[in-house]
Chains A and B, each alone.
Chain A
Amino acid sequence: MDKTWNNNAWFLVLPVLVLVAFSAIIPLMTVVNYSVQDTFGNNEFFWAGLDWFEDTLHSERFWAALWRNLLFSAIILAIQIPLGIFIALNMPKRGWGVPVCLVLMALPLLIPWNVVGTIWQVFGRVDIGLLGRTLAAMGIDYNYVQDPLDAWITVVVMDVWHWTSLVVLLCYAGLASIPDAYYQAARIDGASRWSVFRFIQLPKMQRVLLIAVLLRFMDSFMIYTEPFVVTGGGPGNETTFLSIDLVKMAIGQFDVGPAAAMSLIYFLIVLLLSWVFYTVMTNYGQGDER
C-alpha cells in the first residue's frame, strides 16, 4: 500500500512512546547504571567501569548457561517447526472439526506458565504422576529430579506440549490463505503430494513460518518459569538457562552489578538476533508486495 508522508503521525504514536519509555527506557537505564558501579550496601555506589562486563564474559557460569540455552532453543526449533507443519497439514479444513481442533490446541497456550510447570511436575513424578508411574511400570528408570538427561527430556517435552500449538495455528492460517485454484492447477499438472507441498504450500507458508521461528526462538531463549517450577534449574545446574541464572544472581544473591552486566549482554544477544530476523522478515515482505 502506498503510504502518505506525514510527520504529524508522530502525535498518534506519542502515547505508545510515553508508556514504553516509562516501562522500558527508564528501567533499562537503571540496568546500565548498575552495570558500571559497585556497591557495599547502604546505597553507596562506586564507579567500577567495565569490570563487570569483563567478569561476565570470562565467567564459565555465564557461558555454560548461554550454551545450554542455545542448545535448548535449537532443539525446540528442530522439533516444534517440523511437527507443527506436519500437524497443520493434517488438520481438517472445514466442518465441525475445525473449531474443536483450534480450541483444544490453543488450550495449553493460555495456561499460566507456572501452572504449566506444576502440571508437568505432577505428571512426571514417579510416585503420583501418570507419566512417571507408567514409565516406571514399563521398567524405564526415569527420574527428572536426579537424572540430568531425564530433566532435559522433561523440559523439552513440556515445551513441545506448551508451544507446538502456536506453530500449528500459524501454519494453519498460512495454509488457509492458499486459494483452491493453486491446488487445481497442481492437479492438472499431475503434481505429486511432495511437489504440492514443496512448491505451493511451503512458499505460501514462508511468511508465517518466519513469524513462528522468530517467536519460538525468542520465547525459548528467555524461558524462565516452566523449567524453574519443574526442575528449579537442577539437577546441579543442568537445566539452568540464562533467565534462571540471571534471576538467581539479581534477586537471590543480590549481586546487582554482575547481574546488570549480564542482563545487558543477554539483551544485546537477543537484540542482535531479533534484528537479523526482522530484516529478513521485512525484506521478504517487500519482495512479496512488489
Chain B
Amino acid sequence: MTDPDMTAGMVTPGAATIAQPRQAAALNRTRSSVRLGWLVPTLYIIFLLLPIYWLINMSFKTNQEITGAFTLWPRDFTLRNYTVIFTDPSWYSGYINSIIYVVMNTVISLLVALPAAYAFSRYRFVGDKHLFFWLLTNRMAPPAVFALPFFQLYSAFGLIDTHLAVALAHCLFNVPLAVWILEGFMSGVPKEVDETAYIDGYSFPLFFVRIFMPLIASGIGVAAFFCFMFSWVELLLARTLTTTDAKPISAIMTRTVSASGLDWGVLAAAGVLTIIPGALVIYFVRNYIAKGFALGRV
C-alpha cells in the first residue's frame, strides 16, 4: 500500500540497472494500485456526500414533491424554503445567536489558553502534570453530566438565555482543547528563540505578542478553528441554557420539527444553511487541519 508517486520517485538510476525484473513487477503493482488508490477515497467521499446531497436536494423541493414523489433531483425547483428562513426573524435570529456565542467562545478560549499553553510548553512547575491531566478530563466530561448543574449555576448568576452563558459553558471543553493544541504547536518552536529575545531586552508581554505569536500563527488559527467547530456543533448545553433571546439555530430546528406537522422543506433548508459556515472555515484551514486534529503533535 505504498503511495504510487512516492514509489515512482524512489526509482533511482542505479537501482534500475541492478534489479530490472523486480522493478518491472513493482511497476505493475504500482499501476494497479494507482487505480485502486483513487477508488478508495473516491468511494468514501461519495458515501460522505450522498446524505448531504439528499438534504440539499430536499431543500429545493416543495413539500408536495418531498412527500408525494420520489425524485432524485428537484423537478419543481423552488426557493420558497430559503425565503421562509430569511424573512422570518424567529428563524434567522437563530443563526445570529449561534454565531455570536461561537465567536465569543473562540475569543475567550484563545485569550486564556495562550498564556497557559506557553507555561506548559516552556516551564515545569508544581503540579503541572496533574493540572494538565485535570484539564484533559474536562474535555472528556460528558456534557449530559453538566447540563442540569449548569442551568442552576447560570440561573443563580442571572445568565440564562444570554449568549455569554453558552459561550462560558462551551469553555468547559474548548479551553482544554485549545491549551492542548497550542501547547503542541508551541513545543515545536525552539527555546533559543525565547532566550535570544530576552537577551535583546524584550519584556515578556512584548516578546509574546511581537515575536512568539506570529511564529505560532498557524497554531492559533487551528485552535480557533477547533473552538469554532466544537462550539458550533454542540447542542445539548446550548439548548439547555437558552430559552428565546439566545436560542441557537440547531435548537430552533428541533423545536419547529415537532410543531404543527413537519415542514420538511424548511427543515432541510435550515440544515443546509448550518453546513455552510463550517464548509467556509474548513477551506481556510485545509492545510493545517490534519495537524490540528493531531493536537499539533505529529
Contacts and interface: CB of A to CB of B under 8 A. Distances in A.
A119 B20 CA distance: 54
Nearest to B249: A112
Nearest to B254: A114
A266 B147 CA distance: 14
Nearest to B44: A87
Given A16-B112, A128-B67, A111 B233 contact: yes
Contacts of A17: 131
A122 B113 contact: no
Contact of A123 (B51, B70, B111, B138): B51
A173 B149 contact: no
Given A101-B41, A242-B142, A183 B282 contact: no
B113 A119 contact: no
Nearest to A279: B133
A119 B123 contact: no
What's the dominant secondary structure at chain B's contact region? helix
Contacts of B1: 89-90, 193, 196-197
B68 to A, nearest CB: 9
Given A5-B124, A107-B282, A119-B271, A173 B153 contact: no
B210 interface: no
Contact of A22 (B146, B168, B279): B168
Size class of the contact patch on chain A: 35 or more
Given A16-B112, A92-B41, A111-B274, A243 B144 contact: yes
B107 interface: no
B209 interface: no
A54 to B, nearest CB: 20
Given A122-B58, A173-B293, A224-B143, A87 B67 contact: no
Interface stretch (A56-64, A70-78, A138-146, A244-252): A244-252
Interface stretch (B75-83, B85-93, B114-122, B211-219): B114-122
Contacts, number: 319
A180 B9 contact: yes
Contact of B140 (A130, A274, A282): A274
A6 B124 contact: yes
B274 A112 contact: yes
Nearest to B53: A130
A30 B153 contact: yes
7 contacts: A13-B120, A24-B141, A107-B282, A109-B233, A112-B233, A222-B142, A222-B143
Interface of B: 1-3, 5-7, 9-10, 15, 22, 29, 36-41, 44-45, 47-52, 54-55, 58, 66-67, 70, 72, 108, 111-113, 115-116, 118-126, 128-129, 131, 133, 135-150, 152-153, 168-169, 171-172, 175-176, 179, 187, 191, 229, 232-236, 240, 249-250, 253-254, 257, 264, 267-268, 271, 274-275, 277-279, 281-283, 286-287, 289-291, 293-295, 297-298
